[in-house]
Amino acid sequence: MQGKKDIQPKMLYQLSISDLVPEDNFYRQLTKELDLNFLYKQTRKYYGKDGQESIDPVVFFKICLVGYLNNSEL
C-alpha cells in the first residue's frame, strides 16, 4: 500500500544555531579564549557620528579572521 504524508509546515520554529554547533568546535573554543572587546576602543576614532551605523568592528574582524583561517594553505 502506497502511503502519502500530509505535512503541515509550522509557522514558527524554535531553533538555536548554538545547539547545532558541537562543543569541541574550533571557533567555539576560539571564542572562549580570544577577547576582542579591545577593538571597540582601538577603532572608535575611525567611525563617524552621523549617518547610518556601520558594521560592528568585532563582527568585521571575526569575518576577516574566519576568511583567513579557512582559506590559508599550509
Domain-located, residue 38:
yes
Residue 4 has pLDDT above 70, yes or no: no
Q: Does 33 fall in a domain? A: yes
Q: Please give the residue range of the domain that contains residue 41.
A: 27-45+54-74
Give the span between the Cα atoms of 41 and 19, in whole angstroms.
Answer: 32
Task: Extract the C-alpha cell encoding 58.
Answer: 568585532
Domain contains 59: yes
Closest of 54, 64, 70, 61 to residue 35, by C-alpha: 61
pTM, full prediction: 0.67
In a domain, 67, yes or no: yes
Q: Count the domains in the chain.
A: 1
- DSSP assignment string, 52-74: S----HHHHHHHHHHHHHHH---
Q: Flag whether 3 is in a domain.
A: no
Is residue 74 assigned to a domain? Answer: yes
| Span 12-50, pLDDT tens digits | 778 888 889 999 999 999 999 999 999 999 998 888 888
